[in-house]
Amino acid sequence: MTELLPVDRYLVDSLPTIWFGVVVFSLAMYVALDGLDFGIGMLYATRDEHERETLLAAFGPIWDANEVWLVAFGTTLLAAFPPIYARLLSGHYLLSIAIVMGLVVRGVAPELREQREDPDWRRRCDRLFVFGSTVTPLLLGVLVGSWAFGTPTLSAPSLLTGVGLLALCVTSGAAFVAAKTSGSLADAMVRYGTTATVVYLVGVVVLLAVVALTNPSNVRALLLSAPALGAVLATVSFAGAGLAAARLDRHRLWFGTAFGLSFALVGLVAVLLYPRLHPASGLTVDAAVVSPLALNLTTVLGLPVLALVLWYFKFLYGTFAGPVDGSEA
């Protein structure tokens, strides 16, 4: 009798590695897409009232959708590698709660802002929006750094990863706004984005130097591997291309390079994590993955949903690809 799904073997031998790739891809999409939202939220503090309306109009139709990738990352990690999901949350319980609170503050502040015409009320809501947009990626970066390097939350590699993610988000946000606007606002985004890119590159160099010197969880050898050096080379290439594109006012290309920077960062994290999916404990991909039947069933049911989500995002970004002004907020 032919089995509908194999019970004691994976559909393909490399299925656990494929799902590691799916988890990494979901995280990269979240960093790239919600990263631009965080960046716009931080740049929001530098703008006047009219330009703030323009910033809200630029990312208003997409920012709720972008958070889907955080759900996708958590869901795929839980579905394929539940011990890692449990260790990340239990090992970073307070940090995870703080991240959720930051997301809530960032999400509700713009909604509350529109409920009253009082300038003081709007000013307080704006401050909350900037606060949530700054604190959340900083803490997310700390969590990812602690995970990838197997270090405590309050350690130099973890904190430097958080600062690096902040700079990356500002780069993505500035590039996106520049691609959606023109004139003095786009020019200001070029200045902020250029500075953020340089800060990001310097931050990556400092982070790698600190990790090489302290060698947490014996990752020094991994940093010198070909995949890791490839991710670093990709980072430098995307950053250089982004700076050139910004200087030439090719803002869509600039945003594309910022997207590439996000994938290069998460690619480096993936190199550090594979096959030790949890360096602090030494738990590997093969040890943490669910049973063959569970992963086979997740593959059959989950991957088509992921493909549908990708199609939806292509449709969403295509629909709202045009320029914006403040009256659309």
The encoded tokens of residue 261 equal: 């920077």
Report yes or no: 57 and 324 within 8 Å, Cβ to Cβ. Answer: yes
- Supply the pLDDT for residue 2: 59
- Supply the pLDDT for residue 35: 94
H helices of 1-118, in order, are 15-43, 49-59, 63-66, 68-80, 82-91, 93-113
Q: Which of 32, 313, 46 is nearest to 176 (CA)?
A: 32
Distances from the Cα of 314 to the Cαs of 38, 74, 307, in angstroms?
21, 22, 11
Backbone φ and ψ for 277, nearest 5 degrees, come out as -70, -20
Distances from the Cα of 322 to the Cαs of 178, 252, 259, 272, in angstroms?
12, 11, 18, 38
Strands 276-278 and 283-284: what pairing? Answer: antiparallel
Which residue in this structure is represented by tokens 């949890």?
278
- Supply the pLDDT for residue 326: 56
Q: Which of 251, 73, 99 is nearest to 171 (CA)?
A: 251
Give every residue of the chain whose pLDDT is below 70, as ranges. 1-3, 325-329
Per-residue model confidence as pLDDT tens digits over 5-56: 788 899 999 999 999 999 999 999 999 999 999 999 999 999 888 888 899 8
| Bridge partner residues of 283 (DSSP) | 278
Give just the sign of the alpha carbon dihedral 173, 200, 17, 151. Answer: negative
**Cα-trace Rg, the chain:** 20
Q: Which of 153, 168, 181, 191 is nearest to 46 (CA)?
A: 191
Residues 56 and 106: their CA atoms lie apart, in Å, by: 12
| Bridge partner residues of 322 (DSSP) | none
- Supply the pLDDT for residue 329: 52
Cβ-count burial 54-77 (b if 16+ within 10 Å, e if not): bbbbbbbebbeebbbbbebbbbbb
